[in-house]
Structure 1
Amino acid sequence: MANLIFNEDEQRELREAARAEFPGNPALAYVLENLAAEGIDLDRCRDWDDLRVEKGLPERSDRSSEVA
């Protein structure tokens, strides 16, 4: 099992950054604060291409990497 866990100083910094960077989007700030508190289970992370297929998005083309 692979987990990314943040120490207390990192958690505090991530929470402060989430609040400062996303004052108009409390839902996004909440998600980032939650990640800081609970860490990330890397075994449950999914590949971008898998997410695209799951959501019914078209396959990536060479040009699509230039967008974003």
Structure 2
Amino acid sequence: MANLTFNEAEQRELREAARAEFPGNPALAYVLENLASEGINLDGCRDWEDIRLENGLPPRDDEAQGVA
């Protein structure tokens, strides 16, 4: 299983950044703090294009990649 983990210093920095960057959104800060402490299971990650197609969105057009 591939898992991305953070050492203690990285965890502390991620927690501080989550609190500082998202003071008005405690739910988002909580999610980021959890990622810092628990890491990320890379085996559970899915490709963005697969997610788009599952939700009925058209495939991304290469010409529109830089468009927000």
TM-score using structure 2 length: 0.90
Tell me what 2:58 maps to: 58
Distance 1:66 1:28 in 2: 26
Structure 1 runs not aligned, ≥5 long: none
Distance 2:8 2:66 in 1: 37
Distance 1:67 1:15 in 2: 31
Give the SS at the match of 1:66: coil
Q: Percent identity?
A: 78
Tell me what 1:28 maps to: 28
Runs of 4+ in structure 1 deviating by more than 2 angstroms, as ranges, are: none
Structure 2 runs not aligned, ≥5 long: none
Alpha-carbon deviations, 1:2-50, whole Å to 9, x = none?
0000011100100000000011111111111110010000010010101
State the superposition RMSD in angstroms: 1.0
What is the total number of aligned residue pairs between the two structures?
Answer: 68
1:3 maps to a residue whose letter is N
Structure 1 residue 64 displacement after superposition: 2.6
TM-score using structure 1 length: 0.90
Tell me what 1:46 maps to: 46
**1:11 aligned onto 2:11:** yes
